[in-house]
Structure 1
Amino acid sequence: MQTTTYPVTGMTCGHCADSVTAEVSAIPGVSDVTVDLTAGTVTFSSAAPVGREAVAAAVDEAGYALGDAS
């Protein structure tokens, strides 16, 4: 299991966090999604690497923008 964190821009409230959580959780193989509004990040676990493009598409679908992984 690996853990990945990306910055997400534009999130300001609990609804924002819920939207990002739902979209990232829908990516096959992703589990344990956590959004930190204060830090502006989304962190998730996955058994195999998840491409940045898939995460960016999910975050975009929620209405926000993805930064680079840390």
Structure 2
Amino acid sequence: MKTSIIVQNLKCGGCANTITSKLSQLENITDIVVDADASTVSFSAIGPDEALTVKERLKTLGYPSIEDENGMLSKAKSFVSCATGKMK
């Protein structure tokens, strides 16, 4: 099942590196593509439960989907995730 999620706070390659790295650790998630220009994260999942897991993982990293709240905590988390991705 191919899925795309439009996320907030996705700005650069550092963000994309962190997202790709963290989502690659999830079981049954493959073909991860992060497009910083379009603010999308695309992936293949076995089913809707795995897709929901990806959405929740993105939120914990500071990249909530467009329908989720994007408060100061999310923005701060994305800043740290971005910096981490730039160091790798």
Could you state the TM-score of these two structures normalised by the residue count of structure 2?
A: 0.64
Q: Which residues in structure 2 correspond to 1:1-70 (within 5 Å)?
A: 2-49=1-48, 50-52=50-52, 54-67=53-66
Q: CA RMSD in A?
A: 1.6
User: In structure 2, what residue type is equivalent to 1:55?
Assistant: V
SS at match of 2:7: strand
Q: Which has the higher strand share?
A: 1
The answer as to whether partners of 1:27 and 1:58 remain within 8 angstroms in 2 is: no
Unpaired runs of 5+ residues, structure 1, are: none
Between the aligned partners of 1:61 and 1:26, the Cα distance in structure 2 is: 14
State the number of aligned residues.
Answer: 66
Instruction: Pick closer, same or farther for the CA change 1:9–1:3 going to 2, 3 Å.
Output: same
Shift of 1:22: 1.5
Structure with greater helix percent = 2
Q: What are the ranges of 5 or more consecutive residues in structure 2 without an aligned counterpart?
A: 68-88
Greater RCO, 1 or 2 (C-alpha within 8 Å, sep 6+): 1
C-alpha distance in structure 2 between counterparts of 1:20 and 1:66, whole Å: 13
Shift of 1:25: 1.8
TM-score, normalised via structure 1 length: 0.78
Quote the offset at 1:47 in angstroms: 3.1
